[in-house]
Amino acid sequence: MVFVDSEDSEVIWPLCCVACLVTLLTLRANEKKKRGRRRKMSGDEQQRFSSDGGVHSHSKVEEALEVKSLRRIISAFLNYSDAAEEDVRRYERSYQKLSPAHKALLSEFPLKCQRLRRCISANSYFIMNMLQAFEPPLDMSQDIDTCECDHIENHSKGCVSGEKSFCSGTSASTSGRPQFSEIEHANCGEESNLTRKSPDGRISDQVLAEAPMISESVDGSWSLSPKYTKESEFVGSNDVKTTNNQEALDSFPDHNGNENYSVHDWLDPSFQLNVPLVDVDKVRCIIRSIVRDWASEGWKERDQCYTPILEELDRLFPNRSKDGPPSCLVPGAGLGRLALEISCLGFASQGNEFSYYMMICSSFILNQSQTAGEWTIYPWIHSNCNSFSDNDQIRPISFPDIHPASAGITEGFSMCGGDFIEVYNDPSQEGAWDAVVTCFFLDTAHNIVEYIEIISRILKERGVWINLGPLLYHFADAYGTEDEMSIELSLEDVKRVCFNYGFELERENTIETTYTANPRSMMQNRYFAAFWTMRKKGML
């Protein structure tokens, strides 16, 4: 559902959580207006859409579920630096166990640890800026007793962000990739440190991969929030200390060290949760997904996956009108690049995303980016495996490669947050779309047949469905959850189901591609993804 801001004609970016609670986020299309604007829905507007198309009040239990889920997600972002710092300390403990002769052969190792800490600080700086810009759709300061968790879990199986159950520690995203499960390396394209852990951006100046130097050092890692000083230069591997400094929560510095942001109340430590390490791995997946969608280094993957889709849309809809552009839905939109590219092609494009991890990040990039190359992150630092060199592992990535608000989007571009089935299985969506594009999305379903049924239902007669992706079913290995449904079909059976729901196959191909892969890694996971164009049959 697209909402229009009466004050101007800017594109609206709605976010709905799993319960379809909507927050509007404005993407400014005017190049003169550099930053996006947001508005929260009023209390009267905060309604939950029921399955029959009506609405009912957002109940206290539902709101409690979402607040707890969102706190967990925010806590995962905030715990990123602590988890990364613990990895570095583990590396150092292993190094200290070496004999003097072996240490002498690895004399550069302390410097590498120092560089890793700088990279962690840069990533954390971006994360904190992103969280500062986020405006939660709910009152995050409300006092919710943690003992309500069991009641909440029994009340609802799903929760906001792709968490299957807030208490369970498992997750299930429909973002297309990553799945964010224990088999993270299969779904995110990179090795994960998850099984090896103990249970227990921008920076001031450019950090160079060859010999990183920065003018401002970081006095303390970002356990909860950043604490910048100008007191010393980096001179060794131990010049960054772990600290939980309450002062750091009172303000946040810009890249010149000036304190220019006010920390939101919901970032207070009293609202933060201890989250499982799998949640922090989701944050690492988001960082790698930024490269795929919004960095120049991700161009190759975008060319493999997005270009064939864009070319097919261009071929199928040759006479697009600005006054009445064809509508295109992109379920599992992730960080939003494909949906934006489709909009720039002349479609009224809407991305749909379930994961709040993805939505927080995509909203920041789409709405808050002021220039191309504004941020710098270090996405490959979390795995020491399969690196040709340390410089390959510790290399900066700048993003976004384009300024989203200046990209030439078509009026009507929007992003809709929520579960694909819940949002689009509504009578108002029937026959609403000229095209549906699914990229690395179909295998995120518990029941792929239901996905296909809804895609058929929401397409207009003779509407087009373009799909690209593998069949790495996300719930196939969901161990320990007795009632976890997972329908896993072969490609042949998937197409047979499609034909049953009134689709005709027009084009079919196989495309070899990677997914959030490090192009300089010795290991490259490749998919032979199914690529097809199907058309919904018209009524006889």
Residue 48 included in any domain = no
The H or E element that residue 424 is part of is: helix 420-424
Residue 525 included in any domain = yes
Torsion of CA 202, 208, 209, 211, to 10 degrees: -140
Residue 148 included in any domain = no
CATH number at residue 482: 3.40.50.150
Cis peptide before 178 (omega within 30 of 0): yes
Residue 481 included in any domain = yes
Nearest 5°: CA angle at 383, between 377 and 384? Answer: 115
Of the residues 85, 107, 133, the one at which a domain ends: 133
Please tell me the predicted confidence (pLDDT) of residue 226.
28
Residue 381 included in any domain = yes
- Beta-strand runs (E) in 320-386: 327-331, 348-353, 375-377
Residue 186 included in any domain = no
**pTM: predicted TM-score of the whole model, two decimal places:** 0.75
What Cα–Cα distance (Å) separates residue 161 from each residue in 269, 332, 340, 355? 21, 13, 21, 4
Q: What pLDDT tens digit does each residue of the chain (540 aa) get?
A: 333 232 333 333 433 332 232 222 333 333 333 323 222 333 333 333 233 333 344 577 888 888 888 999 999 999 999 999 999 999 999 999 999 999 999 999 999 999 999 999 999 999 999 999 998 887 777 665 544 444 444 443 333 333 322 222 223 333 333 333 333 333 454 443 332 333 333 222 222 222 222 222 222 222 222 222 222 222 222 222 222 333 333 444 443 444 444 457 778 777 778 889 999 999 999 999 999 999 999 999 999 999 999 999 999 999 998 889 999 999 999 999 999 999 999 999 999 999 999 999 999 999 999 999 999 999 999 999 999 999 999 999 999 999 999 999 999 999 999 999 999 999 999 999 999 999 999 999 999 999 999 999 999 999 999 999 999 999 888 766 667 899 999 999 999 999 999 999 999 999 999 999 999 999 999 999 999 999 999 765
Contact 366, 340 (CB under 8 A): yes
Residue 223 included in any domain = no
Please tell me the predicted confidence (pLDDT) of residue 267.
80
Please tell me the predicted confidence (pLDDT) of residue 271.
72
The CA radius of gyration of the chain, in Å to the nearest whole number, is 23
Of the residues 83, 109, 133, the one at which a domain ends: 133
- pLDDT of 376-401, one tens digit each? 999 999 999 999 999 999 999 999 99
Residues 6+ apart with CB under 8 A from 55: 47, 48, 49
- Its domain, for residue 127, covers 58-133
Please tell me the predicted confidence (pLDDT) of residue 205.
29
Please tell me the predicted confidence (pLDDT) of residue 480.
62
Q: How far apart are CA 234 and CA 232, in angstroms?
A: 7
Give the count of beta carbons closer than 10 Å to the beta carbon of residue 303. Answer: 11
Nearest 5°: CA angle at 210, between 204 and 212? Answer: 25
Residue 27 included in any domain = no
Q: How far apart are CA 357 and CA 348, in angstroms?
A: 25
Please tell me the predicted confidence (pLDDT) of residue 142.
67
The domain total for the chain is 2
- pLDDT of 129-174, one tens digit each? 999 999 888 777 766 554 444 444 444 333 333 332 222 222 333 3
Give the residue from 72, 85, 278 showing the smallest Cα distance to 192. Answer: 278
Of the residues 111, 133, 155, the one at which a domain ends: 133
